[in-house]
Every structure is written in structure tokens, then in C-alpha cells.
Amino acid sequence: VCSVTGFYPGDIEVRWFLNGQEETAGVVSTGLVSNGDWTYQILVMLEMTPKRGDVYTCQVDHSSLQKPVI
């Protein structure tokens, strides 16, 4: 689960990577949820069966960031 909260504006990109390669299958999101104070939150989950040695990474890109956060 990748949880991102307290951001504004609501335009955000949350991506999952498996061993450095972007994963799109099995990605499920709550969509944007308003916090009631002009900020937002979102949960983005990756449904998968973990395997020994695999590295899963969540990357967040938002206009308030100088570079994506992992």
C-alpha cells in the first residue's frame, strides 16, 4: 500500500515498480479523497504475490515536489 496525504493541488501521479520496471497490472486506487481542508489523500495498492528477492517501489510525482519521491 502506498499512502499519500496532505497534498494540493489534487493532480498527482503514483506508480508502482517491480525490480525497477513499472507495474500496471494489479494496481488499485481509492482515487482522490478530499481531507476537507483543500488538501487530498490517495491510497494506491499493488495486488501481487511476493517472491523472494523482488523489490517493490512506490513512486510519487506531484507539482509541489522538485523530483519524484520513492
SS3 state of residue 70: coil
At 56 the pLDDT is 97
Residue type, 46: L
- Show the beta-strand stretches assigned E in 1-70: 2-7, 12-18, 21-23, 27-29, 33-34, 40-46, 56-62
Each residue's pLDDT tens digit in the chain (70 positions)? Answer: 999 999 999 999 999 999 999 999 999 999 999 999 999 999 999 999 999 999 999 999 999 999 999 9
Provide the CATH number for the domain formed by 2-62 in this structure.
2.60.40.10
Q: Considering the entire predicted model, what is its pTM?
A: 0.90
- Distances 27 to 20, 22, 42, 53 between C-alpha atoms, Å: 16, 11, 13, 20
**pLDDT score, position 49:** 93
What pLDDT shows up at residue 34? Answer: 98
Domain ranges across the chain: 2-62
Residue in this structure with the C-alpha cell 497490472, named with its chain if needed: 25
